[in-house]
Amino acid sequence: MIDLHCHILPALDDGPETEAESLQMARVFVRAGYRIVAATPHMVPGTAWMPTIDRINAKVAGLHQTVKDQGLRLEIVSGMEIALDPQIPDLLDEGRLLPLGNTSCLLIEAAFQQLPPGWEQVIFAIQAKGYSILMAHPERCAQLGTHPHLIAQLIQSGIYLQVNWGSFLGQYGRAVARTARLMATNGWIHCLATDSHHPDGHTPERIQAATAKLRKMIGQENIQQLTVDNPSRVLSGKPLQPMRPSAAMSGRRKKRWWRF
Ligand SMILES: [Fe+2]
C-alpha cells in the first residue's frame, strides 16, 4: 500500500519528537503492508508550523537512510499537509510549498469547522497555476458533514478527496464516521491515508479492522484502488480514477451510489 498522508518526520509538528520514534512508525508501516509513505508535516500559513522545503527534504533523506540501514523496505517521499488558506497562491509563487513526491499534486487540509470564505477562488487560483489538489480528510470538516452537496461540489471542481482510515473506526467521533460512510457509499473517495502521528496510531490490527468494515461497504476492488492504484497515480502524475460500483455492495447500497 501507499500512504500519502502521515506525520512521520521528527520534531517538525505534532508528530514524533525523535528519530527513534519515527523509526518505530516506519516499522509499524512495514508491518501494516505499506511500501511507500509520503511524509506530510503540517504547513499552516501565519503560524509556527511553516517548515522550509530544505528542512523537510533533509529530514526525509535522513530518515530514509536510517530506515534503509535497519533493513526496512519502506520508501519515504516528501510532501506537506497545507492548510487551506488564501496565502497559498502567493506561497506557491515564492516556491515555499512542497507537493507530494515531487509531483504537481498538493495535499490541502480542509479546516475542521468550515471552509474559509472565498475557498472557491483559492482552489481556482491553485489549479490555474497547474497544480492538482488532494484534499486531506474532508470528512472531518463539520460543514461538509452537514452540507454534503459541498463535497459533491469539491469533486465537480476537480478536487481529489482523501479520507482517513480512522474515520471509519470512529476515531474522530460519530459525525465524522457518518460522513466517511456517506462518502464511501457515494463513491466520493479517491485515496485512503493514515494521517498517522505516532507509532501506536495505525497498527496493522487497526488497518485490518477498518479494511473489514470498508470491504462490506465498497468491496475489495475499490480498497485496492484507494490504497494502491490511485496513490500510485498521484506519485506518477496521472489523473485519479473515481471509485467503481462494486458487486460486494448490497442492493440498498447500490441504489445510493453517486447519490446522497
Ligand atoms: Fe495530517
Tell me: the pLDDT tens digits for 135-154? 999 999 999 999 999 999 99
Read off the pLDDT of residues 17-51 as tens digits, 9 standing for 90 and up. Answer: 999 999 999 999 999 999 999 999 999 999 999 99
Confidence check: pLDDT of 255 > 70:
no
Cα of 137 vs centre of ligand 1, distance in Å, is: 8
Arithmetic mean of pLDDT, 223-244: 96
CA distance 229 to 151: 22
Distance 195 CA to ligand 1 centre (A): 5
Question: How far is ligand 1, taken at its centre, from the CA of residue 80, in Å?
Answer: 9
pLDDT category, 189, cuts 50, 70, 90? very high
pLDDT recorded at residue 246: 57
Instruction: State pTM to two decimals.
Output: 0.93
Between helices 204-218 and 174-185, what is the axis angle to 10°?
50
Given CATH 3.30.1360.200, say whether it is the number of domain 2-255: no
Dist. CA 250 → ligand 1 center (Å): 32
Distance of CA 220 from the midpoint of ligand 1 (Å): 25
Does the pLDDT of residue 258 top 70, yes or no?
no
**d(CA 164, ligand 1 centre) in Å:** 9
Q: Of 46-50, 151-155, 186-190, 249-253, which range is least confident? A: 249-253
Locate 190 and state its grid cell. Answer: 479517491
Give the burial string for 179-192 (b: 16+ CB within 10 Å, else e): bbbbbbbbbbbbbb
Residue 201 has pLDDT above 90, yes or no: no
**How high is the pLDDT of residue 195?**
96
Distance 188 CA to ligand 1 centre (A): 19
